[in-house]
Amino acid sequence: MVKILRENNKNFLENFKKILIKREMIDYSVDQVVDNIIKKIKDDSDSALLALTKKYDNFRASDVNQLLVRNGEIEKSKKMIDPKVLSSLKSAIKRIKDYHKRQIPKNDLFRDKHGVLLGGVWNPIESVGLYVPGGTAAYPSSLIMNAVPAIVAGVKRIVITVPAINGVLNPVILSCANLLGIKEIYKIGGAQAVAALAIGTKKIKKVDKIVGPGNAYVATAKKKLFGMVGIDMIAGPSEILIIADKKNNPEHIAIDLLSQAEHDRLAQSILITDNESFAKKVIDNITILLKKLDRRDIASESWKNYGVVIISKTIQSSISLANQIAPEHLELAIDNSKKYLNKIKNAGAVFLGKYTPEAIGDYVAGPNHVLPTDRTAKFSSGLNVLDFFKRTSIVSCNSKNLKKIGKDAIVLANQEGLQAHALSIECRIKN
C-alpha cells in the first residue's frame, strides 16, 4: 500500500524524514569484483579485456580489434531501423543541440584598476568516453543526452563503449551513434569498459572523462577510478515529484508517476497535493494503469515500496516540502505554475504546467535528462556543456602594477612561512 502522509498530522515531520532516506541495495561483493576487474585491466591490458568480455557478455573475440565496431556494421544497422524512428532521432538530436549551443561559455579577459590583466579562457576536454547501457534494452535518448553536450563543446575524441551480448549490438544505438558522427565504438561493457577508458590499454587510448549511466558495477568503477579520470556523477535511482491541484486529470498525474516507477524497482514517485479527494482519484488510476504496463512488475514494486502521496496544507507549503526533497524531476501541475518558479530552489529539472509531462524532457524538449538524484540537486546540476569544458585562469602583470599589488602578497607569503614565494615577487619589485 502506498504511503499517505498528511501535513496537518502530529507525526508528519517524523514520517516525512523517512522518505528522504537514500534508496540503495548495498552489495559489498560488488566492490571486490570491481577491484579485481580494475587490477586485471592494469596488469594484463587487452588480454584481460578479451577475457572479461567473454566472461560477462559471452562475446568470444579472439582479437581486441574485433571489439571495435566496423563501418559495415553501422551501415547494416541503418537498414534495420524503422524510418520513423530514424526521423525522430534526427529531430531529437537537432532540438537538443540547439538548446545546448546556448550554454557555450565565453572567454572573459579584463584589466583591474591597477592595469593587471585577469580573466579566464575555456577549452574543451580533449577526449571523453561515453558509457552506453546495452543488453536487451536500448536507450538512444541516453546516448544523445551524453553525446550532444560533448559535441557542442568541441571535444575532439568521443569514444562509445556499449556491452554487446553475444557480440551483437542494438541497431538503434549504432544508428544513433552514426547520426551523432561518433565513429570510435567498442563492444565492451561493465566495470571493464570503465577501467579500459580510465587506464587505457594497448588498443584503447585512455580518455580524460567518462560520462553515462550504468549498473552497480559501472557506478562503482567510476567512483573508484575518479581522479585518474573525470566523471559526470554517480546516478542513483530515478525520481519524480509532482505538485498537482484538483484541476488536473487524475489519470494524467497517475501515468506521470508511473513513468518513473517503470524505470527501476528503487525509483521513487511522489505526489503532493492540497486536495485529498484528488489524491485518492490518482491512487485509483494508478491501480488501473499498472495492469496495462509491460513493465508492471517493476513499476508495482517501485510504487508499493517507495511511492508517496502527501496531502499538504497549501500549494505554498507543497513547494517548501519539494525543496527539502530536492527531486530529480519536478512537475508543477498547477495554475499559474510559472509564478512559483522563483520559489523552487532544489530540483534537477522543472516541468511547468499541466501539459508538460516529465517524459517530454526525456526525449525531445532540449535540456539534458542526465540529472542529479538522491537529493543531490541541493548542490549539483544536470549534465551540460560546461561539463565538457575546463576553465583556465589568466593573470598578467607588468613591472608597474606588480609593485602595486605585490607588497601584500609578500606580507602574506612571509606570514605563511613560504620564503621563496615572497622572494619571487620581491626580486622583481625591489628596484
Q: Which of 328, 331, 358, 369 is catalytic?
A: 328
- With beta carbons less than 8 A apart as the criterion, state whether 358 and 351 touch: yes
> What is the rounded distance in angstroms from the CA atom of residue 95 to the CA atom of residue 365?
7
> What is the rounded distance in angstroms from the CA atom of residue 376 to the CA atom of residue 382?
10
Is 329 assigned a catalytic role? yes
What contacts 339, CB < 8 A, 6 or more positions away?
A: none
Q: Which of 100, 252, 329, 369 is catalytic?
A: 329
| Continuous H helices in 138-188 | 140-153, 171-180
Neighbour tally for 224: CB within 10 Å? 18
Is 328 assigned a catalytic role? yes
> What is the rounded distance in angstroms from the CA atom of residue 351 to the CA atom of residue 354?
9
Q: Which residues pair with 111 in a beta bridge?
A: 117
Pairing of strands 127-131, 108-111: unpaired
> What is the rounded distance in angstroms from the CA atom of residue 145 to the CA atom of residue 102?
15
The DSSP result for 337-394, as a single string, is: GGGGGGG--S-SEEEESTT--HHHHHHTSSS------TTGGGT-----GGGGEEEEEE
C-alpha distances out from residue 183 to 70, 73, 157, 390, 407, Å? 9, 11, 10, 24, 55
| One-letter identity of residue 412 | L
- With beta carbons less than 8 A apart as the criterion, state whether 185 and 158 touch: no
CA angle 215, 46, 137 (to 5 degrees): 30
Three-class SS of residue 332?
strand
- With beta carbons less than 8 A apart as the criterion, state whether 140 and 89 touch: yes
> What is the rounded distance in angstroms from the CA atom of residue 297 to the CA atom of residue 68?
36
Catalytic residue annotation: 328-329
